[in-house]
Structure 1
Amino acid sequence: MTTAVRKKKRKRLLIFLIVLAMLAVAAFFALWQRLTVSRFELSFADLPDAFDGFRIVQITDLHCERFGEGQRELCDKIASLEPDILVITGDMLDQDLLDPEPTRELCAAFAGKIPMYAVTGNHDLWVARSEFRKLLDIYEEYGVTLLRGGAAEITRGGETIYLHGEDDPAHWGSDTVGYLTENPISVTPVENAFNILLYHRANAFPALSSLGFDLVIAGHMHGGQVRLPFVGGLVSPTREYFPDYTAGLYTENGTQMIVGRGLGNAVSVPRVFNPPELVLITLNRS
């Protein structure tokens, strides 16, 4: 073998190793599952002065996932954000895992410290009645206000905002908007007030945005499961490709919506370029 041939083989091997290393690094970041925080500063003309700077942390789509023993990593991260309230937008349970303890650990950590509000997601309602009862008992034990077609008044500095919530709908399929157009949610905004709606399914936004809420906080879409750089989410829970409303801020008909990518995973496909997420929303008076 000549010297020139050896050099050529070494060069090819070097290129192969460099490419392999680059692929390994890309795979590491694509599948990186360290807990992240997305922050949103939202402005509203009708927000009461007393709520200027009000901080909301959204927890969504836990799917029985754990972050450290006793949810310590998750709870420490939430506490560091110094929220005024916690909102849970569904799918804390998972129809396959059936483990309510991660939710119990989370709620127990903040009971009596930070007000907590919740709505149901499809997985919460898909489990057996006895399993759903466990979730209800956890919420009751730790003081989580479950909004199932009702509203909670939040008062601060003598002023009030309204937090509404509705159960996940019985319908399953791609036409959630059509279903909700024919079967509207039962809650309506309070007139001449600031109104927030908690609702599990972000893909229902076209049916929700015309109802007059100032802000909708939703989940369900898991960030599109696989997030393609410069493109967004790849697939919805009902298998539509390149769906709308997968993560972040959306505005329609004067209503703003925040969509959390969620914390857990409900399918066998891993989350790619889509690490678990907490959302911090800060309300500002414009």
Structure 2
Amino acid sequence: MRWIIFIVLYLLLNIYAFQAVRTLSKTYWAITPYILISLGILAFFLYEWNQPNPDGGFTGGRAYSLGLVLAIMAANLILTLFMFGEDIVRLLMAGYNKLFTTSGQFDLPSRRKFLSQVALGIAAIPFASLLYGMYQGKYNYKVLKYTLHFDDLPDAFDGYRITQISDIHSGSFDNKEKIEYAIDLINEQESDSVFFTGDLVNNLAAEMTPWTSTFSKIKARDGVYSVLGNHDYGDYVSWDSDREKLANLEAMKGVHSQMGWNLLLNEHKLVEKNGERIAFVGVENWGAGGFKKKGDLDKAGQGLTDKDFKVLLSHDPSYWQEKIKNDPKNYQLTLSGHTHGMQFGIEIPGWFKWSPVQYRYENWAGIYEEFGRYINVNRGFGYLAYPGRVGIWPEISVIELRKGPKPA
């Protein structure tokens, strides 16, 4: 039934949007390509999504078919809005002629070519953007740099630099050269430590097999630290047994070790410098709503005090709102990911930032501050489902910690 509903909706949008094309030209050379492309994308999507998919992934042709459907439906939705609006005006004009003019005729005015031209021009923007997002946007890595000030930062760590990446989703990758370029970008920052905040894979530990040697090249003076994200637990796969699922999770943890990363499972590590120290704290995934709730902040911070300076890794930023920002142990800086910035939105640095994901998450991209405590929500390194990014680019965060009050 759901397939029938989808097909009917898809065809109705295409048929109605098709009126804009017919208004401009009724020749076969203009009409035929539109019909063939629309039906071809639908056939590709139905074929891919009815193939066996035991690992529950959104990769390869399955992902690209989704991306193409999103692109054409976004364009057709805009065309439909224009055509529907014009039809309302046409009906009102015909009704006026019927009721208030001497002709008494209910004649619908012809569609205006100019309006169809405008509609097609505007509809081309999301269509082209979503195609660009699949071709280039998903690997359009950006290094975003921040400086945060803390009165209680130990003097020895004034100027300490950290790099954060999140949401790798290695099972989605299809271009090793681009990934290696991003790894080089990470190492070029020459940070004191690197943090990864969860979702190494889409579902299976085996997704990292082709990429383990690549990501093991990430280096930092004080090491690489990581936590698990909701996708790392294998919860979105139909396993034959609990033992098989557990084996996947243990293999997942082993991947972090193979790469030389310090996986923090509701625990912390201390880093010392010139007789002073800071704590790197990592919690397992805790997410509001139906997401896994294995994070245990109290356990992870056991033995620390409110005087210790702490950098906390928590995959889902909803944990910051739920508990972290109000915790009496004073977690000065939290690093999160999870939202991907929805891989779609509009950002003008320093001026404007919007994505549909902001209606789901209060903290969804960039730096936020409450009660003198900070959270950085990384926009993600990889991508999931839609195989691209538009406006919200893959991110490498670089944060410099400075001693003292924030400049006025």
Q: Aligning the two structures, in what range does the TM-score lie when normalised by the shorter sequence? A: 0.7 to 0.9
Partner of 1:138 in structure 2? Answer: 255
Where in structure 2 are the equivalents of 1:19-168 lying within 5 Å? 19=121, 23=125, 32-33=137-138, 34-64=140-170, 65-66=172-173, 68-69=176-177, 71-95=179-203, 98-101=206-209, 103-110=211-218, 115-126=223-234, 128-168=245-285
Cα distance between partner residues in 2 of 1:28 and 1:269: 10
Cα distance between partner residues in 1 of 2:220 and 2:398: 20
Cα distance between partner residues in 1 of 2:210 and 2:163: 18
Q: Deviations over 1:225-268 (max 9, x none)?
A: 322453522137xxxx3532110011122211011010112223
Cα distance between partner residues in 2 of 1:91 and 1:219: 9
What is the letter of the counterpart of residue 320 of structure 2? F
Structure 1 residue 210 corresponds to structure 2 residue 316: no
Contact 2:216 2:260 in 1 (8 A): no
What is the letter of the counterpart of residue 43 of structure 1? H
Partner of 2:372 in structure 1? Answer: 254
Contact 2:285 2:315 in 1 (8 A): yes
Partner of 1:277 in structure 2? Answer: 395
What is the letter of the counterpart of residue 166 of structure 2? T
Partner of 1:190 in structure 2? Answer: 305
SS of the residue corresponding to residue 163 of structure 1 reads: strand
SS of the residue corresponding to residue 94 of structure 1 reads: coil
Question: Post-superposition shift, 1:140?
Answer: 1.9
Query: More relative contact order in 1 or in 2 (CA 8 Å, sep 6+)?
Result: 1
What is the letter of the counterpart of residue 264 of structure 1? G
Partner of 1:173 in structure 2? Answer: 289
What is the letter of the counterpart of residue 190 of structure 1? T
Residues 154/72 of structure 1: CA separation in 2 closer, same or farther (3 Å cut):
same
Partner of 1:234 in structure 2? Answer: 356
Cα distance between partner residues in 2 of 1:185 and 1:103: 34
What is the letter of the counterpart of residue 142 of structure 2? T
What is the letter of the counterpart of residue 209 of structure 1? K
Residues 167/20 of structure 1: CA separation in 2 closer, same or farther (3 Å cut):
closer
Q: Deviations over 1:138-175 (max 9, x none)?
A: 22233311111111001122211001111113x66269
Contact 1:46 1:194 in 2 (8 A): yes
- The alignment-based identity, stated in percent, is 26
Contact 1:71 1:105 in 2 (8 A): no
Partner of 2:49 in structure 1? Answer: none
TM normalised by structure 1 equals 0.79
Residues 271/142 of structure 1: CA separation in 2 closer, same or farther (3 Å cut):
closer
- 1 or 2, which has the higher strand percentage? 1
Report the number of matched residues: 266
Residues 27/225 of structure 1: CA separation in 2 closer, same or farther (3 Å cut):
closer
Partner of 1:3 in structure 2? Answer: none
Cα distance between partner residues in 2 of 1:144 and 1:175: 25
Structure 1 residue 200 corresponds to structure 2 residue 315: yes
TM normalised by structure 2 equals 0.57
Question: Post-superposition shift, 1:135?
Answer: 2.5
Question: Post-superposition shift, 1:274?
Answer: 1.3
User: Once structures 1 and 2 are overlaid, which stretch shifts more, 201-210 or 134-143?
Assistant: 134-143
Partner of 2:37 in structure 1? Answer: none
Residues 209/180 of structure 1: CA separation in 2 closer, same or farther (3 Å cut):
farther
Question: Post-superposition shift, 1:36?
Answer: 1.0
Q: Deviations over 1:203-234 (max 9, x none)?
A: 22212101110100111111133224535221
Residues 124/96 of structure 1: CA separation in 2 closer, same or farther (3 Å cut):
closer
Question: Post-superposition shift, 1:19?
Answer: 4.5
Cα distance between partner residues in 2 of 1:96 and 1:138: 11
Alignment RMSD? 3.3
